[in-house]
């Protein structure tokens, strides 16, 4: 069976009008993906749905088509789709426009960083479907420009992100204000039991759809691997990997904006054409980088987790986890920027000797063992003087502590969420924990 597409079904079978089928054909879609084949007919009937399927499997069209089917041109602000980033608001709006090109429906992206007066004017033209980020949507609602009372369908894309601590309150305010009867459709590639519970507070007996039979969270078409590296060698390794792998487009994910800038500067100094993407940049700049990526004019993008979710750019063939994330679900989303629609891609994680535990957490969540890879031509550098001194000092302190205490108090590493096999009940359940390697410690070639 095809992992992504349901080749036995056509879009015509899913209860969609001929106007929509025309838009679907224009987009070049032949068969629905599994999540589309499952979700669309139920959503068209009006059910609330919580849908989970892997990255790059067409969740956008899965929620967009039922909205386009159910909302009529004479119904202003009848569909609302909330997304976590401005980039995603723009991208999702584009897909709505393409799929709905023959429906006569008007869509509008509502997001921060764009002139409020411009968006206010566009809202006066009574769009039918709003795609927006929560902050700006609330702002427009407060100004009386974006009423919730006509909304028939509300969607949360990346639902686990929308209901995590950063957005939870905003979502409560928006969805909590919709007193009329309305339908909800929430989707993501990762939905933990806690998020399911939260999500259900906004839903009426939702259908749980998990469109995959594989017991893994990441798509098989991503070739995953890790490289053991000392922290001081990481920048040089990033340079090496880019030159060695020759990706069409690569995204390098870093934990902080400062690291994004530092890594980008280093690559630039070494003659690599590189762009950055993080939340401290002006929106105009962010949009230009996204457009360059889509046009195939940006080869290497160094990014924060702003770009971790949802971004759908065709030719990303390599994802580098420069900093392996603390939250293993972020890893799933980051590497999901490659190998979309069943294509191939590579994901390389840089792992320092202290970060073995983080890699274990990723493997336990995804139920995929990430093998080690080595680049024999890459020569690790010497330990910097500063690092050596700090290490020697801390070693001396530990020795002293040991001598003064009669009993050693070394505590076993905290395993917490990693061993929680109930993480995805009813969904993608890890069947076996990958084998531990070196008690959560990795060796680099120096040690
Ligand atoms: P997800 O949200 O699941 O990560 P997207 O909705 O971003 O995935 O879709 C990934 C890509 O697949 C997009 O470029 C989209 O246009 C394309 N796509 C979606 N559905 C189909 C389909 N049925 N046939 C071909 N391509 C599709
Ligand atoms: Mg998506």
Each residue's pLDDT tens digit, 178-209: 999 999 999 999 999 999 999 999 999 999 99
Check for a shared fold between 11-210 and 222-366: yes
The answer on pLDDT for 245 being more than 90 is yes
The answer on pLDDT for 407 being more than 90 is no
Domain boundaries, the chain: 11-210, 222-366
pLDDT-above-90 percentage for the chain: 83
pLDDT at 426: 47
Residue closest by Cα to atom 19 of ligand 1: 58
**CA 296/CA 277 separation, integer angstroms:** 16
Residue closest by Cα to atom 26 of ligand 1: 29
CA of 313 to the centre of ligand 1 (A): 11
| Strands annotated E in 246-307 | 249-253, 274-277, 300-303
Lowest mean pLDDT among 271-275, 345-349, 388-392: 388-392
pLDDT at 418: 46
Query: Ligand 1, from 61, 156, 313, 319: best to mutate by most atoms within 8 Å of Cβ?
Result: 61
CA of 229 to the centre of ligand 2 (A): 32
Give per-residue pLDDT as tens, 78-97: 999 999 999 999 999 999 99
Q: Residue 91 CA: which ligand 1 atom is closest?
A: 7
Q: Which of 127, 160, 165 is nearest to 146 (CA)?
A: 127
Q: Which tokens belong to 406?
A: 């009669």
| Strands annotated E in 86-128 | 107-110
Phi, psi of 82, deg, nearest 5 = -100, 135
pTM exceeds cut of 0.85: yes
- Contact status, residue 130 vs residue 137, Cβ threshold 8 Å: yes
Residue closest by Cα to atom 25 of ligand 1: 29
Place of tokens 């090109």: 101
The answer on pLDDT for 411 being more than 70 is no
Q: Residue 54 CA: which ligand 1 atom is closest?
A: 3
- Contact status, residue 253 vs residue 350, Cβ threshold 8 Å: no
CB atoms within 10 A of CB 244: 12
CA of 313 to the centre of ligand 2 (A): 12
The answer on pLDDT for 438 being more than 50 is no
Phi, psi of 370, deg, nearest 5 = -95, 115
pLDDT at 215: 79
Q: Which residues are bridge partners to 5 per DSSP?
A: 33
The answer on pLDDT for 437 being more than 60 is no
Mean pLDDT of 141-169: 97
Query: Ligand 1, from 341, 342, 345: best to mutate by most atoms within 8 Å of Cβ?
Result: 341
User: Given pLDDT bands bounded at 50, 70 and 90, which one contains residue 214?
Assistant: low
Give per-residue pLDDT as tens, 26-46: 999 999 999 999 999 999 999
Can you identify the CATH homologous superfamily of domain 11-210? P-loop containing nucleotide triphosphate hydrolases (3.40.50.300)
**pLDDT: which is higher, 413 or 142:** 142
Q: Residue 341 CA: which ligand 1 atom is closest?
A: 12
pLDDT at 210: 87
**pLDDT: which is higher, 336 or 403:** 336
Q: Residue 55 CA: which ligand 1 atom is closest?
A: 4
Question: What is residue 5's DSSP assignment?
Answer: B
CA of 61 to the centre of ligand 1 (A): 7
The answer on pLDDT for 419 being more than 50 is no
CA of 310 to the centre of ligand 2 (A): 4
DSSP assignment of 306-334 equals GGTSS---TTEEEEEESS--SSHHHHHHH
Phi, psi of 309, deg, nearest 5 = -110, 135
pLDDT at 401: 83
Q: Residue 29 CA: which ligand 1 atom is closest?
A: 24
* Residues 6 or more apart in contact with residue 122 via CB below 8 angstroms: 108
CA of 157 to the centre of ligand 2 (A): 7
User: Given pLDDT bands bounded at 50, 70 and 90, which one contains residue 108?
Assistant: very high
Q: Which tokens belong to 337?
A: 């920027």
Ligand lying closest to the C-alpha of residue 336: 1
Q: What angle do CA 356, 263, 368 make, to 5 degrees?
A: 30
Specify burial of residue 65 (Cβ count, 10 A radius: 0-12, 13-18, 19+): buried
User: Given pLDDT bands bounded at 50, 70 and 90, which one contains residue 440?
Assistant: very low
**CA 321/CA 236 separation, integer angstroms:** 14
Phi, psi of 310, deg, nearest 5 = 80, -30
CA of 340 to the centre of ligand 2 (A): 11
**CA 319/CA 222 separation, integer angstroms:** 10
Ligand lying closest to the C-alpha of residue 91: 1
Pairing of strands 345-351, 316-321: parallel
**Ranges 203-217, 314-328, 417-431, most confident:** 314-328
Measuring from each residue's beta carbon to the nearest atom of ligand 1, which residues come in under 6 Å?
Answer: 29, 32-33, 36, 55-61, 312, 340-341
Can you identify the CATH homologous superfamily of domain 222-366? P-loop containing nucleotide triphosphate hydrolases (3.40.50.300)
DSSP assignment of 7-35 equals TT--GGGGT--HHHHHHHHHTT--S-BHH
The answer on pLDDT for 230 being more than 90 is yes
Q: What end-to-end distance do the CA atoms of the chain give, in Å?
A: 45
Q: Give the CB-side neighbour count of residue 4, counting CA atoms within 13 A.
A: 19
Q: Residue 53 CA: which ligand 1 atom is closest?
A: 3
Ligand lying closest to the C-alpha of residue 341: 1
CA of 283 to the centre of ligand 1 (A): 25
pLDDT at 413: 47
CB atoms within 10 A of CB 179: 8
User: Given pLDDT bands bounded at 50, 70 and 90, which one contains residue 2?
Assistant: confident
Q: Which tokens belong to 88?
A: 């995603």
* Residues 6 or more apart in contact with residue 72 via CB below 8 angstroms: 78, 128
Ligand lying closest to the C-alpha of residue 7: 1
Q: What proportions of the chain, in percent to the nearest 5, are helix, strand and coil? A: 40, 15, 45
Q: Which of 222, 226, 216 is nearest to 366 (CA)?
A: 216
Residue closest by Cα to atom 18 of ligand 1: 58
DSSP assignment of 380-422 equals PPPPPHHHHHHHHHHHHHHHHHHHH-SS--PPPPP-GGGG-TT
**Whole-number mean pLDDT of the chain?**
91
CA of 58 to the centre of ligand 1 (A): 3
* Residues 6 or more apart in contact with residue 373 via CB below 8 angstroms: 225, 226, 227, 348
* Residues 6 or more apart in contact with residue 390 via CB below 8 angstroms: none
| Total count of residues recorded for the chain | 447
Ligand lying closest to the C-alpha of residue 65: 1
Radius of gyration (C-alpha) of the chain in whole angstroms: 23
User: Given pLDDT bands bounded at 50, 70 and 90, which one contains residue 444?
Assistant: low
Give per-residue pLDDT as tens, 319-374: 999 999 999 999 999 999 999 998 999 999 999 999 999 999 999 999 999 999 99
pLDDT at 175: 98
Ligand lying closest to the C-alpha of residue 57: 1
CA of 447 to the centre of ligand 1 (A): 44
Q: Which residues are bridge partners to 222 per DSSP?
A: 345
pLDDT-above-70 percentage for the chain: 89
């Amino acid at each position: 069976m095809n992992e992504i597409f349901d080749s036995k079904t056509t879009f015509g079978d899913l209860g969609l009008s001929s106007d929509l089928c025309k838009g679907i054909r224009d987009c070049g879609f032949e068969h629905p993906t599994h999540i589309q084949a499952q979700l669309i007919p139920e959503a068209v009937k009006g059910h609330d749905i919580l849908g989970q399927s892997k990255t790059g499997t067409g969740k956008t069209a899965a929620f967009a088509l039922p909205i386009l089917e159910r909302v009529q041109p004479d119904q202003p602000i009848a569909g609302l789709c909330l997304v976590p980033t401005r980039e995603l608001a723009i991208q999702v709006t584009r897909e709505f426009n393409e799929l709905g090109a023959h429906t006569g429906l008007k869509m509008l992206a509502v997001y921060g960083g764009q002139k409020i007066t411009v968006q206010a004017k566009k809202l006066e033209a009574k769009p039918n479907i709003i795609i927006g980020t929560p902050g700006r949507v609330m702002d427009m609602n407060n100004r009386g420009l974006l009423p919730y009372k006509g909304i028939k369908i509300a969607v949360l894309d990346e639902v686990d992100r929308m209901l995590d601590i950063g957005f939870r309150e905003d979502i409560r305010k928006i969805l909590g204000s919709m007193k009329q009867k309305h339908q909800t459709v929430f989707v993501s590639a990762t939905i933990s039991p806690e998020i399911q519970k939260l999500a259900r507070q906004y839903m009426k007996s939702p259908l749980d759809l998990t469109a995959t039979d594989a017991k893994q969270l990441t798509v098989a078409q991503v070739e995953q691997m890790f490289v053991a590296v000392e922290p001081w060698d990481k920048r040089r390794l990033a340079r090496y990997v880019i030159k060695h792998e020759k990706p069409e487009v690569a995204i390098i994910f870093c934990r902080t904006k400062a690291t994004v800038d530092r890594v980008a500067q280093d690559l630039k100094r070494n003659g690599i054409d590189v762009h950055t993407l993080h939340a401290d940049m002006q929106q105009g700049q962010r949009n230009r980088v996204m457009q360059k990526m889509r046009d195939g004019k940006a080869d290497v993008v160094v990014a924060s987790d702003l770009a971790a979710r949802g971004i759908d750019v065709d030719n990303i063939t390599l994802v580098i986890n420069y900093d392996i994330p603390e939250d293993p679900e972020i890893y799933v989303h980051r590497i999901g920027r490659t190998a979309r629609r069943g294509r191939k891609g590579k994901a390389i994680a840089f792992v320092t000797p202290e970060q073995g535990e983080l890699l274990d957490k990723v493997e336990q969540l995804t139920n995929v063992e990430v093998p080690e890879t080595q680049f024999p031509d890459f020569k690790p550098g010497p330990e910097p003087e500063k690092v050596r001194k700090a290490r020697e000092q801390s070693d001396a302190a530990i020795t002293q502590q040991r001598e003064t205490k009669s009993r050693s108090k070394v505590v076993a590493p905290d395993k917490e969420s990693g061993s929680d096999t109930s993480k995805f009940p009813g969904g993608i359940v890890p069947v076996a924990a990958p084998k531990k390697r070196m008690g959560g410690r990795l060796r680099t070639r120096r040690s």
